[in-house]
Chains A and B, each alone.
Chain A
Amino acid sequence: MQTSSDNILSAVRIDKGFPGTKALDKVDFHLQRGEVHALLGENGAGKSTLIKCLTGAYRRDGGNILLDGVEVDPRDTFDAQRLGIGTVYQEVNLLPNLSVAENLFLGRQPRRFGMVDIRAMNRKARELLSEYELKLDVTRALASYSVAIQQVVAIARAVDLSGKVLILDEPTASLDAHEVAMLFRIVRRLKARGLGIIFITHFLEQVYEISDRITVLRNGRLVGTRNTAELDRRDLIAMMIGRELAAEIHAAEAHAAEGGEPRYRFRNYGRRGRIDPFDLDVRAGEVVGIAGLLGSGRTETAEVLFGAHRADSGTAEIDGRRVDLSSPRAAIREKFGFCPEDRKTDGIVGDLSVRENIVLALQARRGWTRPISRAEQNRLADLYIRALDIRTADREKPIKLLSGGNQQKAILARWLATEPEFLILDEPTRGIDVGAHAEIVRLIESLREKGMSLIVISSELEELVAYSTRIIVLRDRAHVAELGGERITAHQIVEAIAAANERRAS
């Protein structure tokens, strides 16, 4: 055990077990002064357990934590904060109803004659935020600002309170590119001030953009710590999942669609104000990828197809038969399925069990007067838990306790249980880790091979390229290009989006 003097935080041989599992097995982690250290691993690798041990949210079973060379033992997050370890989570942990200044100084407001000196507090808040290039009305409620700004306020509070170590747990998950750039500017500035920063994320590009070193955990064990500059992406992924996923993703299989008549034929289909009328043909056993920038009308296309927003123009045909898709109910009757993008608000019912979440759509289609027997529910749930490798202790576990990737698979299972023939997936791999990612990609391919028609929306172009037989490119709420066969490459998609933008510029 050696601790170099540059280490601001050292965790040595940390052990943590939960009933039945060993979450952390003698993990070492060293954070240097003035570095951004990415902590990576699949869901369940032990990242959040390690963080929770460092911040006192969990009691570790064994091992030592040294802060500035002194052994510490934080009892809770507040205690850790006092010692110098501040944490900022993806979901901002501040009070939306209090003013920005009150959030920054809660519990340590400057006082005069026993009363809170509001003017001094607001002045100090403005000074503090000016270090972050932020000019806000600090007397306004925090809720009146965007998530990105709230995140910066949370960072300002954490740094001001702690000042030694800053843990950023998935801070960029709900930010757009511009906001991420702002956040990274701030992170670099804090790094220059000598803070040790732990950065947790699913976005590998961001890891390469901001981090100096990378530590990878797998199955509760330390895989290794590397300098970012010396670790290429393929090796990193191999470290994270222990198998050559990179190769799998690029093994773009035969894109050649089996010819034949399109099963699904949409003509002049659209809805005013949401998506311009488009023509779309989908054959059986075909994956149609939808690409475009955020706000280009990808989700709107999916919602119109599924009847979540009724189309106000055009016609839909299945096997030459005119069909009505004016509501999700109607679409489900035609054997449509739709996995929405935001699974927290549109997808899972957190307090229900995995089983109940899986049978939900099937039960809805049968109608509530014809309940699915408990035995049949159990059979379905077990079938899909096994088929999709949903990692859960048992089928009765509340779904909110599962990791993001497993929740996503449960939602997929919900629609697969209805045996759809036309399945729309909106960002099926968002916010889940690399391993689950690969499994979802494999699943999409196997569904296609079984003859299902799929529409997949994704921001990850390489992923789209991997499984799509055709790709529709969207821009400004209109379908602007269609790529097929040889032309399906990430480069071509970018070209198509860019060309469309140039046309708009001229």
Chain B
Amino acid sequence: MKQKYLPLTATILIFVLSYALCAAQYPNILSTRVIGNLLTDNAFLGIAAVGMTFVILSGGIDLSVGSVIAFTGVFLAVVLEHTSMHPIMAFALVLGITTLFGALMGMIIHYLEMPAFIVTLAGMFLARGMAFVLSIDSIPIKHPFYATLKGFYYKLPGGGRITLIGGLMLLVFAAGILIAHRTRFGTNVYALGGGTATAKLMGVPVASTTVKIYALSGLLAGLSGIVFSLYTSAGYSLAAVGVELDAITAVVIGGTLLTGGSGFVAGTLVGIFIQGLIQTYITFDGSLSSWWTKILIGALLFAFILLQKGIIHLSRDARQRA
């Protein structure tokens, strides 16, 4: 087997094993109802994580995601409460804003040669601050269109439902996989992760690729914010704190190298599922503190970092032998 599939295989193996363990203890966990909920509950995180995967593959990081989600939620709530704008229009508007916001961060990162960490950290405070400026209260969204959207679902055999937002997440993942592996832009993202200077020498349009990557992450963070507002039917400026860290975790557990250049969008989906599964298990158990989620995810994350280190080591050995 090729080495690049090793982390992904490990992720899938861990997921299947832990699912089997959970199912052995609580057979109900296999029901389509649980699976449907797994998708719905993690939809916003999954969508944001797709954007994060591209950013990390290119060797960058985007810390603004959580704040952008909160901003989007508050923006929608305020607009829908105070104006007569149709939600669809509001969606388009907010997606435009967040995409532009991401593109702007990408430009600063590229043209001013600033580390992505600092630029997106500033973006994080900025977006969160803008949310506070709009409103400091949790504003419920009562627009009838929201109820309509929530009414859409696909009924699975066994009573489970694939809701609109759960399905949307799967669609976003499918699109992400296509973009990453079947477009020139996707290859350019990997190329940046392999080395910006070399990529430039080989003719990769570094500037436009960088801007597009962060714009994509902004777009998906905005979409994630819409999904989050549908999920909670509210906008609150203190919501979604630290979601960017959950997204990064999903990406890394999904087998993507934090230094960039290697990984799969599909792996991130499995990473999301693993996190969701741990949460579901703890809910099923009932007696465990929810902090166990964090502890288990921390342990997993650590294990994956070690695994990646080991693989890098192995591949270096292999090259020396070749």
Enumerate chain A interface residues (CB-CB to B < 8 A). 77-78, 81, 93-98, 102-103, 106-107, 109, 111, 114-116, 118, 139-141, 143-146, 149
Contacts of A109 in B (CB 8 A): 184, 187
Residue B3 lies at the interface, judged by CB distance under 8 Å to chain A: yes
Shortest Cβ distance from residue A116 to the other chain B in the assembled complex, whole angstroms = 5
Contacts of B187 in A (CB 8 A): 98, 102, 106, 109, 116
Partner among B188, B202, B262, B322 whose Cβ is within 8 Å of the Cβ of A94: B202
Partner among B2, B184, B202 whose Cβ is within 8 Å of the Cβ of A140: B2
Residue B193 lies at the interface, judged by CB distance under 8 Å to chain A: yes
Are B198 and A93 in contact, CB atoms less than 8 angstroms apart?
Answer: yes
Shortest Cβ distance from residue B240 to the other chain A in the assembled complex, whole angstroms = 32
Shortest Cβ distance from residue B191 to the other chain A in the assembled complex, whole angstroms = 5
Contacts of A144 in B (CB 8 A): 3, 315, 318-319, 322
Are B182 and A93 in contact, CB atoms less than 8 angstroms apart?
Answer: no
**SS class, residues of chain B in contact with chain A:** helix
Contacts of A114 in B (CB 8 A): 183
- Docked complex: B185-207 residues within 8 A CB-CB of A: 186-188, 190-191, 193-195, 198-204
Are B178 and A107 in contact, CB atoms less than 8 angstroms apart?
Answer: no
Known: A78-B201, A109-B187, A116-B182. 9 other contacts (CB 8 A): A78-B200, A78-B203, A94-B198, A95-B190, A102-B190, A107-B184, A115-B182, A141-B315, A144-B322
Are B191 and A98 in contact, CB atoms less than 8 angstroms apart?
Answer: yes
Are A97 and B193 in contact, CB atoms less than 8 angstroms apart?
Answer: yes
Contacts of A149 in B (CB 8 A): 322
Counting chain B CB atoms within 10 Å of each CB, which of A93, A102, A139 scores highest? A93
A–B pairs, 13, beta carbons within 8 Å = A78-B202, A94-B202, A97-B190, A97-B262, A98-B187, A106-B187, A106-B188, A109-B184, A111-B184, A140-B2, A141-B4, A144-B318, A146-B319
Are A107 and B202 in contact, CB atoms less than 8 angstroms apart?
Answer: yes
Cα separation A93 to B188 with both chains bound (whole Å): 15
Are B2 and A106 in contact, CB atoms less than 8 angstroms apart?
Answer: no
Contacts of A139 in B (CB 8 A): 2
Contacts of A103 in B (CB 8 A): 202
Residue B261 lies at the interface, judged by CB distance under 8 Å to chain A: yes
Are B198 and A95 in contact, CB atoms less than 8 angstroms apart?
Answer: yes
Q: Which 7 A-B pairs have the closest CB atoms?
A: A95-B194, A97-B261, A97-B194, A115-B182, A78-B203, A146-B322, A107-B203
Contacts of A143 in B (CB 8 A): 315, 319
Shortest Cβ distance from residue A81 to the other chain B in the assembled complex, whole angstroms = 7
Contacts of B261 in A (CB 8 A): 95, 97
Given A107-B184, A140-B2, A144-B319: A95 and B203 interface contact (C-beta under 8 Å): no
Contacts of B181 in A (CB 8 A): 116, 118
Contacts of A116 in B (CB 8 A): 181-184, 186-187
Cα separation A98 to B57 with both chains bound (whole Å): 12
Considering the complex, give the chain B residue whose CB is closest to the CB of A113: B182
Shortest Cβ distance from residue B189 to the other chain A in the assembled complex, whole angstroms = 11
Cα separation A111 to B178 with both chains bound (whole Å): 13
Are B194 and A96 in contact, CB atoms less than 8 angstroms apart?
Answer: yes
Shortest Cβ distance from residue A7 to the other chain B in the assembled complex, whole angstroms = 27
Contacts of A94 in B (CB 8 A): 198, 202
Query: How many B residues face the partner with a CB closer than 8 A?
Result: 29
- Docked complex: B30-63 residues within 8 A CB-CB of A: none
Are B201 and A93 in contact, CB atoms less than 8 angstroms apart?
Answer: yes
Cα separation A140 to B318 with both chains bound (whole Å): 13
Contacts of A107 in B (CB 8 A): 184, 188, 202-204
Contacts of A111 in B (CB 8 A): 184
Cα separation A109 to B191 with both chains bound (whole Å): 13
Considering the complex, give the chain B residue whose CB is closest to the CB of A157: B202
Residue interface mask B245-263, A partner, CB < 8 A = 1: 0000000000000000110
Considering the complex, give the chain B residue whose CB is closest to the CB of A105: B187
Considering the complex, give the chain A residue whose CB is closest to the CB of B2: A140
- Docked complex: B173-230 residues within 8 A CB-CB of A: 178, 181-184, 186-188, 190-191, 193-195, 198-204
Are B204 and A106 in contact, CB atoms less than 8 angstroms apart?
Answer: yes
Residue interface mask B1-30, A partner, CB < 8 A = 1: 011100000000000000000000000000
Contacts of B182 in A (CB 8 A): 115-116, 118
- Docked complex: B136-189 residues within 8 A CB-CB of A: 178, 181-184, 186-188
Considering the complex, give the chain B residue whose CB is closest to the CB of A79: B203
Are B178 and A115 in contact, CB atoms less than 8 angstroms apart?
Answer: yes
Cα separation A475 to B3 with both chains bound (whole Å): 36
Counting chain A CB atoms within 10 Å of each CB, which of B183, B194, B262, B322 scores highest? B194
Given A109-B187, A115-B182, A145-B322: A95 and B3 interface contact (C-beta under 8 Å): no
Contacts of B178 in A (CB 8 A): 115
Considering the complex, give the chain A residue whose CB is closest to the CB of B262: A97
Cα separation A145 to B315 with both chains bound (whole Å): 10
Are B199 and A95 in contact, CB atoms less than 8 angstroms apart?
Answer: yes
Are B202 and A95 in contact, CB atoms less than 8 angstroms apart?
Answer: yes
Cα separation A145 to B191 with both chains bound (whole Å): 18
Considering the complex, give the chain B residue whose CB is closest to the CB of A161: B203
Partner among A102, A118, A141, A145 whose Cβ is within 8 Å of the Cβ of B3: A141
Given A95-B194, A143-B315, A146-B319: A106 and B3 interface contact (C-beta under 8 Å): no
Considering the complex, give the chain A residue whose CB is closest to the CB of B257: A97
Shortest Cβ distance from residue B206 to the other chain A in the assembled complex, whole angstroms = 11
Are B315 and A106 in contact, CB atoms less than 8 angstroms apart?
Answer: no
Contacts of B2 in A (CB 8 A): 139-141
Considering the complex, give the chain B residue whose CB is closest to the CB of A77: B201
Cα separation A144 to B190 with both chains bound (whole Å): 17
Are A95 and B191 in contact, CB atoms less than 8 angstroms apart?
Answer: yes
Are B194 and A81 in contact, CB atoms less than 8 angstroms apart?
Answer: no
Partner among B184, B194, B315, B322 whose Cβ is within 8 Å of the Cβ of A98: B194
Contacts of A93 in B (CB 8 A): 198, 201-202
Shortest Cβ distance from residue A462 to the other chain B in the assembled complex, whole angstroms = 31
Cα separation A78 to B184 with both chains bound (whole Å): 17
Partner among B203, B315, B318 whose Cβ is within 8 Å of the Cβ of A81: B203
Residue interface mask B88-115, A partner, CB < 8 A = 1: 0000000000000000000000000000
Considering the complex, give the chain A residue whose CB is closest to the CB of B192: A95
Partner among B191, B262, B318 whose Cβ is within 8 Å of the Cβ of A106: B191
Cα separation A329 to B245 with both chains bound (whole Å): 45
Cα separation A55 to B193 with both chains bound (whole Å): 25
Contacts of B191 in A (CB 8 A): 95, 98, 106
Cα separation A365 to B181 with both chains bound (whole Å): 54
Given A98-B194, A115-B182, A141-B4: A106 and B322 interface contact (C-beta under 8 Å): no
Shortest Cβ distance from residue A347 to the other chain B in the assembled complex, whole angstroms = 20
Contacts of A140 in B (CB 8 A): 2
Shortest Cβ distance from residue B2 to the other chain A in the assembled complex, whole angstroms = 6
Are A106 and B202 in contact, CB atoms less than 8 angstroms apart?
Answer: yes
